[in-house]
Amino acid sequence: MEYVGNTITTENWSGENKIFIGKGVKTFNGTLHRYLTLREDDANHMLFLGPSGFQKTTTMKAFLQEIYLNTRWGRNLEPPLIIVFERKYDRAKAQLVKKTFYELLRRWGESGLSARYSQVKELKLYISMLQHPAFEGQIGLMGDFALAWENILGFLMYDKHHTYFSQFGIKPLAFPIRRFVFNPTRPLNHIALDSGPETEVIATFIKYDRLEFSDIAKILNMNVNTIYAQLIKEAWDNLRIRDPDDVISRAKQIYEEMLEFLEVDPGKRKPSMSLWGVKSVMQYLKSNRIFDRSTKGKDLLDLIDNDKINVIDFSQNSQLTEEEKNIIFKKVIEYVTEDYIKKKETAVFIVGDEIHNYLATRWGKRIIGKLFREGRSNQVNLLIATQYLHNLPDEIVYGASHIAILGTLASADDYYLLKKVVPDFDVKFERLVASSPAEVELLKRKERGKGYFIYNKFFTERIHFRPSQTL
């Protein structure tokens, strides 16, 4: 099986990081094709905005595919480091893939489909398993970023003369993916089947060494002013003891030292509820498989690299609380901005769907706001999707370099905000308005994948965005 590789070299690179984003409605320089240049000396943050059902996630996938294929960074022309935080899987997608597969078989036959789609044998096997009663509920749960399956849906007819692919001159491709799951809720091979033939699925963890006391306190919603919390903080942060058993032992020692200092009669000493609190917290760490000792081997942050696209699976494939997801997100961002950029001279692109989930906490707002303000200096860029702008921190709205609007705006507040930020927005933008309930669905089908692109917050144009080459 062949898939997309890192094929750009010093000999064949154009010398410019330019990505194909879609087709405009007016000809510029003799073409409708639109390209976006990503610069090493500038921020390349992007917002994908619009109501549900207009292909925000699909368009964001298409952009990151272009970034992986057609950009190289630094003196060694390194591929970018791409990290995707995936929030959910889609039960309907696998059924649509199955329906499309049989439709194309009837149209072209197996040999005709094989000539156009290199993963026919793998997809045929996947669909046969999808239909088998033994795998019901175990497969057919494709993630939003199943980037290792070639996109068979691109062969559906867009109009009488063109498929979705042919009108843009592109073809289906599979990308090399490294998918990380935590506390997997189903077998890894089933997750791999849904993710595509070029996916490496890894059940991973975070080393205790990478956690600070504040991380543990957030996960467990601890009152940091209690005695047991202070005992843990003394051992974990001040003494740098990062083994739960050793923390319990040290807490006992600290408690005994405290009693001696206070000259409490040994015969009058009572069982300590504070020590019991320390033990409970450490037992949680020991029983939770998303955290472990360094001796277990390489963890998530050791394995993230730019040889593949990294997908961190926060969908139902991973058994995680929202607090645990937030801590993992925080640790990844910290690692990339403080450590990884010192190891490799390349740009980083962090992809976050449903960004509001990471803005629910104070530190989440702070860390994302800081990336939008300071990411340019470290070449760390964010691609994030949201339905609404007006509830985002100012740093995100004003720090975004480019804004893609899919379909229309979901809020009148966003229209007035963009009027303030983008000089030509009120002149170029037209809201979609349905005149009847029936027209709502008609407009959604007609405008799916279409919208507006705002370049550097200076120029707005109507655009039909390029489709994703993967499912």
pLDDT digits (tens, 9 = 90+) for 124-151: 999 999 999 999 989 999 999 999 999 9
Contact 148, 175 (CB under 8 A): yes
Q: Which two tokens stand for residue 219?
A: 């996960």
Q: Which phi and psi (to 5°) does residue 224 adopt?
A: -75, -5
What is the Cα–Cα distance from 40 to 31, expressed in whole angstroms? 26
For 170, 205, 316, 347, the CA distances from 329, given in Å and listed in that order, are: 33, 13, 16, 19
pLDDT at 11 over 80: no
Is pTM beyond 0.85 here? yes
Alpha-carbon distances, residue 143 vs 251, 290, 311, 387 (angstroms):
44, 21, 10, 20
pLDDT-derived band at 179, boundaries 50, 70, 90: very high
The predicted-structure confidence for 331-376, as pLDDT tens digits, reads as follows: 999 999 999 999 999 999 999 887 777 777 777 788 787 787 776 7
How many Å from the N-terminal Cα to the C-terminal Cα in the chain?
17
Task: Calculate the average pLDDT of the chain.
Answer: 91
Q: What CA–CA distance (Å, rounded) separates 203 from 318? A: 9
* pLDDT for the residue numbered 82: 98
**Alpha carbon distance 68, 72 (integer Å):** 8
**Average confidence (pLDDT) over 424-428:** 94
The one-letter amino acid at 413 = D
Q: Are 285 and 208 in contact (CB under 8 A)?
A: yes
Please report, for the chain, the start and end positions of each structural domain, with discontinuous segments joined by +: 1-204+299-316+400-471, 209-294
Q: What is the pLDDT of residue 3?
A: 47
Better-scored residue on pLDDT, 395 or 19: 19
pLDDT category of residue 1 using cuts at 50, 70 and 90: very low
**Residue 263: per-residue pLDDT:** 77
Mean per-residue pLDDT, 451-462: 96
**pLDDT at position 7 over 70:** no
**Which pLDDT score, from 0 to 100, does residue 2 have?**
42
Query: pLDDT at position 37, please?
Result: 96
- Give residues with Cβ within 8 angstroms of 305, minimum separation 6: 81, 178
- What does the block give as tokens for 250? 């040290």
DSSP H helix total and E strand total for the chain:
16, 16
Beta bridge partners of 206: 291
CB 32 within 8 A of CB 23: yes
Task: Tell the residue number behind the tokens 């009847």, with chain if given.
Answer: 436
Q: What is the pLDDT of residue 94?
A: 95
List pLDDT tens digits, range 15-48: 789 999 999 999 998 999 999 999 888 889 999 9
